[in-house]
Amino acid sequence: MGKYKFLEDRAIADAAFEAEGKSLEELFEACAQATFEVMAETDTVEAKNKEEIQLKSDDLEELLFNWLAELIYLKDLKATLFNKYQINIEKPGGYELRASIWGEPIDAEKHKVKVDVKAVTYHLLEVKKSDDKWIAKVILDI
């Protein structure tokens, strides 16, 4: 799995993080994990319920934006936190993401809920390849 760190000085009223991975799949997984870690302690979430996601985009930043927006949408729609991701990204003529994600319904006592993420933003959104890893910077609206 990729890594992430929160950027305290990047956004005043929002949550910002930088994630990295050896592959795009690791990067997108780290971004998902960071997004849910803003909301709750993800090590308390069990991978019980499975959802499938398919996305397409010509642009990596847009694909990452849509990925995180879909996760936030599913969190809101199903009142579920996610913590396990199986992601495949291909580039046949644009980018195609297929993912299976697992989680369980939000339980405020069990999951040590922190804050609610309302949306991902395009503000300062960045995805780039640096040497042997992929790096993303993301700001979430809380």
Q: What percent of the chain has pLDDT over 70?
A: 94
Average pLDDT of the chain?
93
What angle, 0 to 180 degrees and rounded to 10, lies between the N-to-C axes of helices 60-78 and 24-39? 40
What pLDDT score does 14 carry? 84
- For the entire predicted model, the pTM comes to 0.91
Answer yes or no: are the C-beta atoms of 24 and 4 closer than 8 Å. no
> Which of 20-29, 96-105, 108-117, 131-140 is the least confident region?
108-117
16-30 mean pLDDT: 97
pLDDT of 4 higher than 90: no
Q: Determine the average pLDDT of the residues in 136-140.
A: 95
Q: How confident is the model at residue 93 (pLDDT cuts 50, 70, 90)?
A: confident
Kindly report the CA angle at 119 between 94 and 83, in degrees rounded to 5? Answer: 80
For the chain, which domains are there?
3-141 (3.55.10.10)
Give strand pairing partners of 134. Answer: 21, 129
* Chain centroid to CA 59: 17
Is 60 exceeded by the pLDDT of residue 10?
Answer: no
11 falls in which pLDDT band (50, 70, 90)? low
Question: Alpha-carbon distance 96 to 30, whole Å?
Answer: 18
For 54, the token pair is: 């398919």
What secondary structure, in 3-state letters, does 49-101 show? EEEEEEEEECCHHHHHHHHHHHHHHHHHHHCEEEEEEEEEEECCCCEEEEEEE
Mean pLDDT for the stretch of residues 65-86: 98
3-state secondary structure of 36: helix
- Return the percentage of the chain with pLDDT > 90, whole number: 83
State mean pLDDT over 52-64.
97
